[in-house]
Amino acid sequence: MSTPEAPDPAPGAGLRIGILALQGDVREHARTLRGLGAEVVPVRRAAELAEVHGLVLPGGESSVIDKLTRSFGLRDPLRAAIAGGLPIYGTCAGMILLADRVEDAIAGQQTLGGLDVTVRRNAFGRQNESFETSLPVPALGPEPVAATFIRAPEVTAVGTAATALASLADGRVVAVEQGSLLATAFHPEVSGEDRFHRRLLERARERA
């Protein structure tokens, strides 16, 4: 009599994934990650950052998050984590934070850096001009991604170290990766799309 095969473990089983929880859409990312079996850790302190296998930088207001990372003493630990290869996924404002260069930044705005790209803030207009589109992302498989754009940035230049993962029909780049870093201008978590989070979990498991 054959023994039934054990079910495959959830993609996030045994992984602790942090979400920078200073401002922005933390809840939606937490729901997606928990749905994939990961333990979610809200990160507001350097000690919490040190405990995770991967990190999400959520959407929100990039200039506000930038100021809060400094107020909470997280800027240097985050930069060290990026340099150390911690798998990180940034959405919308998170993409801006990961970019090496930013156009239309407010006075004094800084980024964490790590992605060899230039991004432009609020490239798709105001909140009431938000939209959703079906976006091909070949690296994630043949099925297109449901991508929600909310006051989103765009990538205006991709450096030699980074790779574009997705572009709109007009050619504007809206998803990139570089080593352990992944970023999208849009919010897949809003529409229930989890393949970018799965990609983060794959990187986190490889590192763990």
pLDDT of residue 4: 52
Q: What is the CATH number of the domain that holds 154?
A: 3.40.50.880
| Confidence at 3, pLDDT banded by 50, 70, 90 | low
**Residue 4 belongs to a domain:** no
Q: Which helix (H) or strand (E) holds 154?
A: strand 154-158
Q: What is the pTM of this model?
A: 0.94
> Alpha helix (H) ranges present in the chain?
26-35, 46-49, 62-71, 75-83, 93-98, 195-207
**Residue 128 belongs to a domain:** yes
| Confidence at 8, pLDDT banded by 50, 70, 90 | low
**Residue 6 belongs to a domain:** no
Q: Which helix (H) or strand (E) holds 103?
A: strand 99-103
Catalytic, 187? Answer: yes
| Confidence at 171, pLDDT banded by 50, 70, 90 | very high
**Residue 8 belongs to a domain:** no
What is the C-alpha separation between 136 and 144, in angstroms, rounded? 4
pLDDT of residue 27: 94
Mean predicted confidence (pLDDT) in 37-59 = 97
Catalytic, 92? Answer: yes
**Residue 153 belongs to a domain:** yes
Q: What residues make up the domain containing 28? A: 16-207
Overall number of domains in the chain:
1
Q: Of 92, 154, 193, 197, which one is the catalytic site residue?
A: 92
**DSSP β-ladder status, 88-91 and 131-135:** unpaired
Q: Of 28, 154, 177, 189, which one is the catalytic site residue?
A: 189
Q: Of 154, 187, 193, 197, which one is the catalytic site residue?
A: 187
Selection from 105, 93, 108 nearest residue 149 by Cα: 93
Selection from 160, 201, 166 nearest residue 180 by Cα: 201
- Top-confidence range, 104-108, 120-124, 195-199: 195-199
Three-class SS state of 166: strand
What is the C-alpha separation between 121 and 129, in angstroms, rounded? 14
**Residue 62 belongs to a domain:** yes
**Per-residue tokens: 12:** 């996030």
Q: Crossing angle for the helix pair 195-207 and 26-35, nearest 10 degrees?
A: 70
Task: Kindly state the greatest CA–CA separation across the chain.
Answer: 71
Residue 178, strand partner residues: 181
| Tens digit of each residue's pLDDT (9 = 90 or more) over 119-163 | 999 888 776 678 899 999 999 999 999 999 998 999 999 999 999
